[in-house]
Structure 1
Amino acid sequence: MTPSSLTEYFLSRGLLDVFIRAGLVLVLALSCYQVFRPFLDLMLWSLILAVTFYPLHRRLVKALGLREGHVATLITLVSVAILMVPVILLGSSIGESVDSTLALLKGGELHIPAPPDSIASWPLIGQSLHDAWAQVASADQGSLVKKALPHLKGAGLMVMGKLAGVGAGFLMFLGALIIGGIIMAFGETGHRATVSIASRLSGPVRGPQIAELCTATIRAVAQGVVGIAFIQMLLVGIGFVVMGVPGAGVLALAVLLLGIMQLPATLITLPVIVFVFSTEGATLGVIIFSVYSIVAGLADNVLKPLLLGRGVNVPMPVVLIGALGGMVTGGIIGLFIGPVLLAVGYKLFWQWVEDPPQAPAIEDKAAS
């Protein structure tokens, strides 16, 4: 056997070994992914919550002098106790709204009620609004609704189907909060592991910088955008549920989307206040509800400075696309995870673009 043939033999043998090893690694990675896939959203949301709450965890450890595990347990229990009731109320309200809407879309029938007489007494637009509503509810109902309903049926069924599991999504959120507390208890170890992984992927110089960039982006988006929108959703949604507003849970989700889009929640609260006044009248309970809804709708103006939301260095279209895409692909949990993941990917991409590779040292020596 000639030397050239021996070289070709060993090269082909070595290349075959590389392909075999790569194939085995790929099979192992795919198998691990299939096993871990049912828990992926839960673990991602747990990690986001742990990273978000970790600065508070560190401050409480220093202030109270307790062990990290005890402080993590305290934060988890307090958070679950605060969120349990409103989350369950909103989840059940959304579930009822989704069930009724699905039954309506599948049945193909829609009934528009006659307008209340009190609307006609509104200044400027009252009489015109009353007449238009009455016309649609009576003469035009059979034609207009039947023409529009087939076009809306497909999209409505898809959206309502995604929202149907919202109750399970809220329960998953509570479970993620508990797992996030466990992750916080081992925060120092997790930080070192994250830096080690990033350093192994990007080098010892860029690794810590990338880990810090991801951490800062997660906290900024989770606190300054998603966190504020979630708190505002709870505040507004509780008022809607207590007042018995139809579709209170779905309206609360609309407040969440507006908050992520950085639009005022008053776009939802003001029409609801008008609706409640028109149906219930100017009673003491309605007045209290109206004042509470206005204050809750403006709560983001107070929460943003407290939660450092104004320092989010991610374009709002990126956050909005992440929220909508996450909701379509992952339901209610995807609505929270999507903006954070897309924001992290956006920051990492631009970090890669703005950090060009260094020229090889060999070229520098040759030029000299």
Structure 2
Amino acid sequence: MESLPVKRDLSRALLDVFIRAGLIAALAVICYEVFHPFLGLMLWAVILAITFYPLHGRLQQRLGLKSGHAATFIVLVTLLILMVPIYLLAVSITESVSAGLVLFESGAWHIPPANPDVQSWPLIGPQLFTLWQQGATDATSLMQQVVPHLKGIGMVVLGKLAGVGTGFLMFIGALILSGIVMAYGDSGQRNAVRIATRISGLDRGPQIAQLCTATIRAVAQGVVGIAFVQMVLVGVGFVVMGIPGAGLLALLVLLLGIMQLPVLLITLPVVGFVFFTEGATVGSVVFAVYSVLAGMADNVLKPLLLGRGVNVPMPVILIGALGGMVAGGIIGLFIGPVILAVGYMLFWQWVDDAPGGEQVARVEID
């Protein structure tokens, strides 16, 4: 009979635990639903704030500025620097789309006759020759066959272009928010260490916070930053040379740079197009040399900005960029590599913390 009150007390304690856990879970879900629309924006703002925070500290020391003034200065200068390439990119995209619509509606475009050598290409040669010849002789009939298939692709492309514009606006908003985060950077740094310590303990908490900070800075500067620099360098050359669709090509340079693919995939065909249309002039040669060097600038910048004590394999960055773009559009393209790199480093930090985790075991399979 004495065990009955004990069981009742145990049941009440267990019920209290379940009720509290349910209430906490419900509160967490509600908070997530409220914060979810701003999640990408705030992640981007925090990443920018962490990336710019060393510069923020140097400005405070050298110019004697207050924390808020230094953050405002960084945001304003960054906006002024970004406005020019963003404006040129928007103008180029608008002009390219408008020119394409005008040319399509006027009917002035034409397809040159097919090259007979195309027939000798393996697998696709005969079919491609027939399709090409049909377009050269009866473009209207060809368009009637192709347009239904291109309609869906066109809607996807227009949706992506709209997403790019939204992404730029989100980036400007995140940059402004990052200034607010930087202004309270000291307290934010302390709180990050407190949270990491609460999760991982007093010994490993500060190390994990430092690891996350170093990874975010390395990837943001060494991947996203270099890709943006390449986009500006290559895009300026395209605009000066008057390349059709220079803005779209510059945007492709940015995407390839973030996905860790060679930018020469864009610059070399453009150089070939310039030589084909204008010949081997002095301007063409200068443009070719400049474009190739700008496309290879990452080979010089990556050792300087990427991997300062952080070893993130390139496949992790590529998967993060592709997965982020699929999941979150243009915003996910920037955030994905950073988040996946942080997760990758934390995972291996957890593996190495295990007893004997730093020792490599070699197993031979007969």
Indicate the residue corresponding to 1:169 in structure 2: 167
Does structure 2 retain, via aligned residues, the 8 Å contact 1:98–1:164?
A: no
Q: Distance in 2 between matches of 1:340 and 1:30?
A: 25
2:205 equivalent to 1:207: yes
Amino acid at match of 1:11: L
Indicate the residue corresponding to 1:69 in structure 2: 68
Does structure 2 retain, via aligned residues, the 8 Å contact 1:228–1:259?
A: yes
Provide TM-score, normalisation by structure 1: 0.80
2:36 equivalent to 1:33: no
Shift of 1:223: 0.8
Quick one: which of 127, 133, 147 aligns to 1:139?
Answer: 133
Indicate the residue corresponding to 2:49 in structure 1: 50
- Which shifted more, 141-150 or 29-38? 141-150
Does structure 1 retain, via aligned residues, the 8 Å contact 2:226–2:298?
A: yes
> How large is the RMSD of aligned CA atoms in angstroms?
3.7
Does structure 2 retain, via aligned residues, the 8 Å contact 1:163–1:332?
A: no
Indicate the residue corresponding to 1:240 in structure 2: 238
Change (3 A) 1:353 1:309: closer
Q: When the two structures are aligned, how many residues end up with a matched partner? A: 343
Q: Distance in 1 between matches of 2:197 and 2:240?
A: 51
Does structure 1 retain, via aligned residues, the 8 Å contact 2:259–2:322?
A: no
Q: Distance in 2 between matches of 1:291 and 1:26?
A: 60
Amino acid at match of 1:28: L
Amino acid at match of 1:170: F
Runs of at least 5 residues in structure 2 that lack an aligned partner in the other structure: 102-108, 357-366
Compare relative contact order (CA 8 Å, sep 6+) and give the higher one, 1 or 2: 1
Q: How does 1:315-334 map to 2 (within 5 A)?
A: 315-334=313-332
Indicate the residue corresponding to 1:364 in structure 2: none
Q: Distance in 1 between matches of 2:89 and 2:98?
A: 14
Does structure 1 retain, via aligned residues, the 8 Å contact 2:318–2:337?
A: yes
Indicate the residue corresponding to 2:13 in structure 1: 14
Secondary structure of 1:12's aligned partner: helix
Does structure 1 retain, via aligned residues, the 8 Å contact 2:263–2:295?
A: yes
Shift of 1:236: 1.5
Indicate the residue corresponding to 1:85 in structure 2: 84
String of CA shifts for 1:264-315, please: whole Å, max 9, x gaps: 3222111012113323455665455434323321222332344345764111
Does structure 1 retain, via aligned residues, the 8 Å contact 2:59–2:70?
A: yes
String of CA shifts for 1:72-117, please: whole Å, max 9, x gaps: 1111111110011212332454567689999xxxxxxxx873289x
**Equivalent pairs: percent with the same residue?**
67
Does structure 1 retain, via aligned residues, the 8 Å contact 2:48–2:175?
A: yes
Provide TM-score, normalisation by structure 2: 0.80
- Which shifted more, 11-20 or 215-224? 11-20
Change (3 A) 1:172 1:96: farther
Q: Distance in 2 between matches of 1:44 and 1:115?
A: 53
Amino acid at match of 1:29: A
Indicate the residue corresponding to 2:263 in structure 1: 265
Q: Distance in 2 between matches of 1:42 and 1:308?
A: 24
